[in-house]
């Protein structure tokens, strides 16, 4: 196997992965994405708004501010977000996800 140099992944890429995954979880959206504007999903800066990634030696912690849909069980949706983000980041980077902290900061009207 060819060793072509260093492998680096900027925290912004981890935040983008988390934002894309968040947009696939039913009942939750990122703070930069409005449910009534599908164009928001195409804008990278909107997908990463409210998401911070902290990379250590071999692990990652993510802090995510999210809006949840009114009438949903926030606990269940939050766990779905955590599970989906953890699986995606670990499978795409090979790094262990230490924590995915979900902060519910708003409610989407139905």
Helix H or strand E segment including 81: helix 74-93
Query: Which pLDDT band, with edges at 50, 70 and 90, does 32 fall under?
Result: low
Condensed to tens digits (0 to 9), the pLDDT of residues 75-108 reads 999 999 999 999 999 999 888 999 999 999 999 8
Contact 50, 15 (CB under 8 A): no
Contact 60, 17 (CB under 8 A): no
pLDDT at 58 > cutoff 60: yes
Name the more confident of 40 and 91: 91
d(Cα 46, Cα 60) in Å, to the nearest integer?
21
d(Cα 70, Cα 88) in Å, to the nearest integer?
26
d(Cα 85, Cα 19) in Å, to the nearest integer?
9
pLDDT at 35 > cutoff 80: no
pTM flag (> 0.75): yes
Q: Selecting from 3.10.450.40, 3.30.70.1350, 3.40.640.10, 3.10.28.10, what CATH number does the domain 11-108 have? A: 3.30.70.1350
């Amino acid at each position: 196997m060819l060793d072509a140099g260093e492998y680096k992944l900027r925290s912004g890429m981890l935040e983008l992965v988390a934002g894309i995954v968040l947009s696939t979880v039913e009942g939750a959206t990122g703070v930069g994405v409005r449910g009534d504007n599908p164009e928001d999903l195409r804008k990278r800066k909107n997908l990463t708004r409210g998401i911070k990634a902290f990379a250590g030696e071999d692990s990652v912690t993510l802090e995510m501010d999210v809006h949840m849909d009114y009438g949903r069980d926030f606990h269940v949706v939050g766990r779905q977000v955590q599970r989906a983000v953890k699986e995606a980041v670990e499978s795409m980077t090979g790094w262990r996800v230490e924590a995915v902290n979900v902060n519910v900061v708003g409610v989407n009207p139905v």
